[in-house]
């Protein structure tokens, strides 16, 4: 087993293990008496901050030619801010809790990390001859372990403990990253002068037909899929389940991403990346259709198989596809722009999803979700056909 694989797998495992603790922000607000409307406002503000912060830190990483340094710097600020959230609920400046400053500020430094860590691992995998899926699967495994642990631990300790555990859980990741050298550090010693924005040439991304059409496809995927996940507790209650067990289901879903990620090397030998992206849309659309007909918690747990397999395909293929589409100087920017779309989808999905459920009910809501994901698949297939056959644009070679 390659030492590089062990190091990168450890980075993926430690990062997602600590990050699992961040899923309890909404639960904390609910436990402290925040109404659904107030929770929605706070989450919307946090998502809006994420939309701006994610590409900002990606461009910063590309400008200074170091994803690693940006990750370390932002984590050193973001971790303490996130650990302050339980305390910030109890400190008021007039009618407003300090939370309304601490939470968005924490999101500015913390929420871009998934995209930055993905960009870093994909870049290292490309340089070290590793398969990204083989490395990323350890993140899904650790997220599952941590989620299961929180399911049993937090009822005893209180949900506030998750925020302190996040800080402790991220320490191994910080130590690993601190001891990593940048991929080109040896070759670029003395030549790591920061690029100017003109030298970076952001326009190259926006002139890339396949990059732009992928971002549109990604938004069409993220919007219904994020909305589906956000309102899963309502579906669980409709079949007589307990919405408090949602955390357990998300952990199970993460575990089910592992098979797709494990098979990524084999799949890439037989299928191009766009085909695997289309496969993710098929799994997601099927999942939503099955949710619309679910009648028990057993059905919902079984349907997580489709969510997990689709998620594994999307995680593994989208990161590599973006890496192939972007110039070497803009890999972080490309990955973080994709991450910002997820935040935008969360805002739109939460606003539209709640209205849809009120108007048509939870069952028809999932029929609509399934149709929207099918539309995303059709759109993506059309853009590939149009680009290859009509515009005569070759797909870039996979990296």
The confidence score (pLDDT) of residue 301 equals 85
* Domain with residues 3-180+198-390, CATH architecture: Up-down Bundle (1.20)
Tokens 């059709």 belong to residue: 378
Q: Find the distance separating the first CA and the last CA of the chain, reported in whole Å.
A: 22
Classify the C-alpha dihedral 107-325-379-316 as positive or negative.
negative
pLDDT value at position 371? 95
Say what the pLDDT of residue 185 is.
44
Helical residues (DSSP H) of 159-243, grouped into ranges: 161-179, 197-200, 203-206, 209-230, 232-238
Per-residue confidence (pLDDT) for residue 329, from 0 to 100: 79
pLDDT of 173 reads 95
Walking along the chain (399 residues) 10 residues at a time, the average pLDDT comes out as 86 92 81 74 84 91 88 94 91 77 92 92 88 91 88 85 91 91 48 62 83 94 86 80 67 84 88 93 95 89 89 91 86 88 83 82 91 96 94 78
Q: Give the pLDDT score at 113.
A: 93
User: Residue 92 in 3-state DSSP?
Assistant: strand
Q: Is the pTM of this model over 0.75?
A: yes
Supply the pLDDT for residue 241. 73
CB atoms near residue 180 (< 10 Å): 17
Look at residue 187 in the predicted model and tell me its pLDDT: 41
Kindly list the domain boundaries of the chain, sorted by start residue.
3-180+198-390
């Amino acid at each position: 087993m390659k030492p590089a694989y062990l190091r990168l797998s450890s980075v993926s495992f430690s990062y997602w293990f600590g990050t699992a603790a961040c899923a309890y922000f909404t639960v904390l607000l609910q436990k402290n008496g925040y109404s659904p409307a107030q929770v929605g406002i706070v989450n919307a503000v946090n998502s809006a901050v994420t939309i701006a912060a994610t590409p900002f830190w990606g461009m910063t990483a590309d400008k200074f030619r170091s994803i690693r340094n940006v990750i370390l710097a932002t984590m050193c600020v973001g971790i303490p801010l996130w650990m302050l959230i339980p305390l910030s609920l109890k400190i008021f400046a007039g009618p407003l809790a300090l939370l309304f400053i601490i939470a968005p500020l924490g999101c500015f430094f913390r929420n871009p990390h998934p995209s930055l860590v993905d960009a870093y691992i994909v870049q290292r995998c490309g340089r070290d001859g590793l398969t990204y899926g083989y490395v990323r699967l350890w993140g899904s495994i650790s997220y599952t372990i941590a989620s299961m642990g929180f399911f049993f631990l937090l009822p005893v300790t209180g949900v506030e403990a998750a925020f302190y555990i996040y800080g402790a859980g991220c320490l191994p990741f910080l130590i690993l990253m601190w001891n990593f050298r940048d991929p080109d550090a040896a070759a670029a010693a003395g030549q790591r002068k920061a690029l100017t924005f003109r030298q970076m040439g952001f326009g190259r991304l926006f002139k890339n037909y396949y990059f732009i059409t992928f971002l549109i496809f990604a938004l069409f995927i993220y919007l219904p899929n994020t909305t589906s996940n956000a309102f899963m507790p309502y579906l669980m209650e409709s079949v007589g389940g307990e919405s408090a067990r949602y955390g357990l289901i998300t952990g199970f879903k993460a575990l089910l991403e592992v098979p797709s990620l494990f098979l990524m090397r084999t799949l890439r030998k037989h299928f191009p990346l766009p085909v695997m992206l289309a496969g993710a849309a098929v799994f997601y659309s099927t999942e939503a259709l099955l949710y619309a007909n679910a009648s028990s918690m057993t059905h919902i747990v079984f349907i997580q198989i489709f969510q997990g397999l689709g998620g594994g395909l999307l995680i593994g293929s989208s990161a590599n596809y973006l890496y192939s589409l972007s110039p070497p100087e803009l890999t972080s920017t490309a990955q973080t722009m994709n991450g910002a779309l997820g935040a935008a989808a969360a805002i739109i999905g939460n606003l539209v999803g709640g209205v849809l459920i009120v108007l048509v009910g939870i069952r028809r809501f999932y029929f609509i979700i399934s149709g929207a994901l099918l539309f995303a698949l059709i759109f993506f297939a059309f853009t590939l056909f149009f680009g290859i056959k009509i515009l005569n644009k070759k797909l870039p070679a996979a990296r």
